[in-house]
Structure 1
Amino acid sequence: MLTNRYVRTILLSRVLLQLGIWIRNFAILLYISDITHNNPQYVSLISVVETAPIFIFAFIGGTFADRWRPKLTMVWCDFISAITVFIVLLAVRSGSWYALLVGTFISASLSQFSQPSAMKLYKKNVPADGLQGVMAMSQSLVAIFMVLGPAIGTFIYLKYGIEASLILTGVLFLGSSLVLTSLPKDDEEEVSSGSSNFLKELTSGLRYVQSNRALRTLSLTFGVTGLAAGLVQPLAIFIAIEKLGLSKESLQWFMMANGAAMLIGGIVIMGIAKKVKPQFLLATGLLVSALCTIGVGASTLVSVTLILQIVSGLFYPCIHVGIQTLIMRNTEGPFMGRVGGAITPIFMGMMLIGMALSGYLKDSTSLFTVYVLSGCLLFAGVVLLGPLLKKKQASAKQQAM
């Protein structure tokens, strides 16, 4: 796969981008945590600005990726992200830390235009039988940086500070843009006329989801699991500080353990995915995640919390593989992009609501209560999958007869 020029170049670009993103995200997390004295509302706001663009621009970015030249789109998105980081650096030097949130939002928004363009180039220039391997490689890259990223980001911030972290981030984004310029020039036919109406495309996708029972079920499951994820994602740092009595910098080790387990779990799931029905794979992943989430909220022991993070990471690929397989099996080819564009914002929108509420819920109740609520929502996701589970069981009985 690495002999393919497009795969090699885009993956190198993604290595630089992932490194820059992790350095930026952890530097901002630790810096804002320092200057706000671990204020949970400001800490949760960081996660909101990192995630909101996925909800806002997921469908828009996919639509424009089909209308714009993919190489040019990727180059300019990374270049503008780099310039934005340097502008934010100037603002931080003048004492305005809110600029960190604005800059992160802009950079994350641009990635929603860049990522679909990369997928478009893969589809056009990678043989059909090699696409699955390329996607697996891309997912493995993300998992690797979930292991290495927190440690690298924390080390650079603690050793050199926020300004150095931002400078390095800007350089890495700029490097990604330069790497992408080595791709062959975009073909003229890759640019569509753009005559199709955006609102009609969106409405068509929503109607298709509404008319498909399996996709409706997945949408509901997406919604509750997104809310569950959003409630606890910004509060992980408080598990380390309040529950375990550790420093906020220790969060990196739990994230690294979780990321390493995800990498191992992904490899295992790739081997058994064809033997297990996707709906059972998804239900198992949600059930284990629910138990682990409640356990993490209750645990006051480092060893127990670490084990729960590892177990959760091992089963997370069940959720990812189950969801993607169910969407592919229950969606007609011409609607794949629009269905993804319609369903993904449901998950991200509910996740954003959870993130926005998490800090307030923690202040008004307790950290444990928020984690229990998140776990209960994941259990609800398993219950909502009931129609799909019953449908497949009924089909199996009919085949047996």
Structure 2
Amino acid sequence: MNRRFFILDRNTASTLTNNSHAKSGSLFQNRVFQSIIISGLFLQIGIWVRNFAILLFVMEKTNGDSFAVSMISVAEFAPIFLFSFIGGTFADRLNPKKTMVWCDLLSALSIFAVLVTLIFGTWQAVFFATLISAILSQFSQPSGLKLFKMHLPVEQMQQGMSFYQTLFSVFMVLGPIIGTFMYDTFGIQVSIAVTGIAFVLSAVALAFLPNSNQTEREVASKTTLWEEMKSGIKYVLQKKDLSLLGLCFMGAGLGLGLIQPLTIFLVTEQLGLPKENLQWLITANGAGMIVGGALVMIFLKNVPPQRLLALGMLSNVIGLSIIGFSSSIWITLLAELFIGLMLPCIHIGINTWILQSTEGAFIGRVNGILSPMFTGSMVLTMSLAGILKEMFSLTAMFEASAVLFLIGLSFILPLYNMKIVESK
């Protein structure tokens, strides 16, 4: 699933006045926050239509081959491991508005190129659609995170993250339904075309973002890319909380990658249902996320992010353990609902933690270092998931995933009562 988090144009006195007003006013009056929400809306439509159309299309073309299905996820997540650090470093140097707009436009272009190949009968090109979009997101996502850091005061960061997470949660419910409907009704070609149009509309929304701080980019240009990459690694290693967060990421990534490609087999084999019923498991998870995001935004907005993260990790351990043994659709749905309810604690906790603990000049590189620790671990087990499924039962795979989440939780427990010192 693609995520965007969101420098500030200070070239004129009027812009400074507007920014000051936005910061002191309501979160929803913030121009950057509004643009990002609208962009995120279009992106979620495109991503879910693409993901479900490609999944169902590949399942149909390969007769449910587990290796082919797992390769869809590898195409989506492997670029995060390979390009995240480079993309994060460039995000600390380039104009974030232009970076984000161009990435969406290039993603749309790649989608339309895939559509052309599909028309001429090369169905394997659908993997290319996911791959290119995933690569480009590694340049746009950290640019958005820098915008988010500089445009929101610290007291609104967790609320902003909660609202943005709720948008994703809504599409966890609607996305599978929309994606399945589009593929079943119109087929793969129309679904891919809709994805491309959605990316173009996202770029249009981002065009209303303010420009970046030119002075900051001029300073960044005086150092080499390699020097900035080394300074980013040194920065993370010197901060104990970020280093332990990275180890937590690795445990969670290993656990998630082990089951990510196999959920559809949980439906078809363990529960004995048609593959289209996957949408109801995702819907239950998404419904929980909507409620969970609202609860964090209203009742838990002042809870320290490391405590939110620990609560979310523990909930995954419990929920995955139940799913692994369940052969009842209702128990599995309730477990997915419970995981979804607590999942915003992980997403909001992680992103708020990074935003509060990291200096603005290092946001891109910190994100570019920590993300591959999670994604690289996930891609490793994801690549092996299809093979391991043939060797072990689905129950064993889900229980092993729960254990890996528990190991990840153990790394951040020493920070449970730590007070995060905000970096500017």
Q: Say yes or no: TM over 0.5.
A: yes
Q: Report what 1:318 is aligned to.
A: 345
Q: Report what 2:235 is aligned to.
A: 208
In structure 2, the CA distance between the partners of 1:124 and 1:272, relative to structure 1 (3 Å rule), is: closer
Counterpart of 1:242 (choices 266, 269, 272) is: 269
Supply the distance in 2 between the matched residues of 1:166 and 1:247 (Cα, whole angstroms): 24
Match of 1:52, as an amino acid?
Answer: A
Q: Does 1:369 align with 2:382?
A: no
In structure 2, the CA distance between the partners of 1:179 and 1:285, relative to structure 1 (3 Å rule), is: closer
Comparing 261-270 with 184-193, greater Cα deviation is found at: 184-193
Supply the distance in 2 between the matched residues of 1:162 and 1:291 (Cα, whole angstroms): 37
Q: Report what 1:69 is aligned to.
A: 95
Supply the distance in 2 between the matched residues of 1:171 and 1:271 (Cα, whole angstroms): 35
Match of 2:172, as an amino acid?
Answer: M
Supply the distance in 1 between the matched residues of 2:210 and 2:307 (Cα, whole angstroms): 43
Match of 1:301, as an amino acid?
Answer: S
Contact 1:69 1:190 in 2 (8 A): no
Q: Report what 2:323 is aligned to.
A: 296
Q: Report what 2:73 is aligned to.
A: 47
In structure 2, the CA distance between the partners of 1:101 and 1:237, relative to structure 1 (3 Å rule), is: same
Match of 2:380, as an amino acid?
Answer: I
Contact 1:217 1:387 in 2 (8 A): no
In structure 2, the CA distance between the partners of 1:88 and 1:336, relative to structure 1 (3 Å rule), is: closer
Supply the distance in 2 between the matched residues of 1:205 and 1:268 (Cα, whole angstroms): 34
Deviation, 1:185, is 6.2
Comparing 326-335 with 348-357, greater Cα deviation is found at: 326-335
CA RMSD of aligned residues (A): 2.6
In structure 2, the CA distance between the partners of 1:58 and 1:295, relative to structure 1 (3 Å rule), is: same
Contact 2:50 2:192 in 1 (8 A): yes
Supply the distance in 1 between the matched residues of 2:301 and 2:41 (Cα, whole angstroms): 30
Q: Does 1:260 align with 2:260?
A: no
Q: Does 1:36 align with 2:36?
A: no
Contact 2:158 2:297 in 1 (8 A): no
Q: Report what 2:143 is aligned to.
A: 117
Unaligned 5+ segments in structure 1 are: 396-401
Deviations 1:127-185 (A, max 9, x none): 66655544333222111111111110010001111011011111222222234345566
Q: Does 1:92 align with 2:118?
A: yes
Deviation, 1:112, is 2.0
Counterpart of 1:164 (choices 190, 194, 198) is: 190
Contact 1:227 1:353 in 2 (8 A): yes
Q: Report what 2:382 is aligned to.
A: 355
Deviations 1:24-83 (A, max 9, x none): 011000100111111111111111111122222222222222333233222222221111
Partner SS for 1:378: helix
Q: Report what 2:3 is aligned to.
A: none
Counterpart of 1:152 (choices 166, 178, 203) is: 178
Unaligned 5+ segments in structure 2 are: 1-26, 420-424
Partner SS for 1:161: helix
The total of aligned residue pairs comes to 392
Deviation, 1:13, is 2.1
Q: Report what 1:177 is aligned to.
A: 203
Supply the distance in 2 between the matched residues of 1:164 and 1:342 (Cα, whole angstroms): 37
In structure 2, the CA distance between the partners of 1:13 and 1:275, relative to structure 1 (3 Å rule), is: closer
Comparing 72-81 with 161-170, greater Cα deviation is found at: 72-81
Q: Report what 1:23 is aligned to.
A: 49
Match of 2:350, as an amino acid?
Answer: I
Supply the distance in 1 between the matched residues of 2:404 and 2:161 (Cα, whole angstroms): 30
Supply the distance in 2 between the matched residues of 1:341 and 1:292 (Cα, whole angstroms): 29
In structure 2, the CA distance between the partners of 1:368 and 1:130, relative to structure 1 (3 Å rule), is: closer
In structure 2, the CA distance between the partners of 1:122 and 1:319, relative to structure 1 (3 Å rule), is: closer
